[in-house]
Amino acid sequence: MKLFSNLDGIGERELFLSMRKIISHAQRAVELLDAVIRGSKDFTKMHELKKRSYEEVVRLSNSITSGTISPNLISDMLELLKLEYKIVDIIFVLGRSTARYRISDEKARRYLESRLLESNRLVSEALSAIYGMHTEESLDRIRNLRKEVEDIEKQGDEIKEDMLNYAYAAKLDFKPFYHIQNLAYLSDDILDSCEDAADMIMNIMFSVVS
């Protein structure tokens, strides 16, 4: 089934495809976050990506509400924009938090780095799937990509729980304990937002074929 052919006009197709730009910004932010996790203190480029993503959201939101698309898609399209921008925003917050404070205990620092890198790898995989959901014409393939995101999010849950268990078991001082806990939740929030975005794309696709 050619899903895009069910969209009422060129404007709807172009808007949906244009949302890929925000995901592209998120993918670039993940690459920059990788460097920050490994020790870089420079997250200025991540801030610029966040700014550009916000500008793109404003532009696309204006197009959505200007009558370019069918009324039954407006709410879901706006929600999708919000969710995809949220991914970029949390990646930035995670990068900033990581760069501003490094745990002095070497064992804890190495553990945290390994867990964050693994979580970041999962985010990269989830974003690739979401990007594909924006371009796929097959509803079955979109469902499969949605399932991929769901499975990735479950792996992220395991990393979060492992980080929280480590924070309690390592008997750290409050600041490093809180730092690990905070980054665990932020990492998990990114993958949760990826799953929410994938769900919203499915909602939009079901609206298109109904």
Q: What is the 3-state secondary structure (H, E, C) of 149-208?
A: HHHHHHHHHHHHHHHHHHHHHCCCCHHHHHHHHHHHHHHHHHHHHHHHHHHHHHHHHHHH
pLDDT value for 100: 92
Q: Residues near 112 by Cβ (< 8 Å), separated by ≥ 6?
A: 103, 163, 179, 180, 183
pLDDT value for 11: 66
DSSP category for residue 39: T
pLDDT value for 14: 80
**CA angle at residue 74 from 69 to 75, to 5 degrees?**
170
Phi/psi zone of residue 67: left (φ > 0), alpha (ψ -120 to 50 degrees), beta? left
Residues 12 and 73 sit within 8 Å (Cβ to Cβ): yes
pLDDT value for 1: 39
Q: What are phi and psi of 74, to 5 degrees?
A: -60, -50
User: What domains are defined for the chain?
Assistant: 3-209 (1.20.58.220)
H helices present in the chain, as ranges: 10-18, 20-37, 44-63, 71-100, 106-133, 139-169, 174-209
pLDDT value for 44: 87
Residues 108 and 176 sit within 8 Å (Cβ to Cβ): yes
pLDDT value for 15: 84
As a whole number of angstroms, the distance between CA 7 and CA 39 comes to: 46
As a whole number of angstroms, the distance between CA 125 and CA 170 comes to: 30
Q: Which residues, given as ranges, of the chain have pLDDT below 50?
A: 1-7, 10
pLDDT value for 2: 45
Closest Cα partner for 120 from 40, 180, 38, 21? 38
Burial of residue 175, with CB atoms counted within 10 A of its CB: 0-12 exposed, 13-18 middle, 19 or more buried: exposed
Q: Against a cut of 0.75, is the pTM above it? A: yes
pLDDT digits 0-9 by tens, 34-81: 999 999 988 889 999 999 999 999 999 998 888 777 888 899 999 999
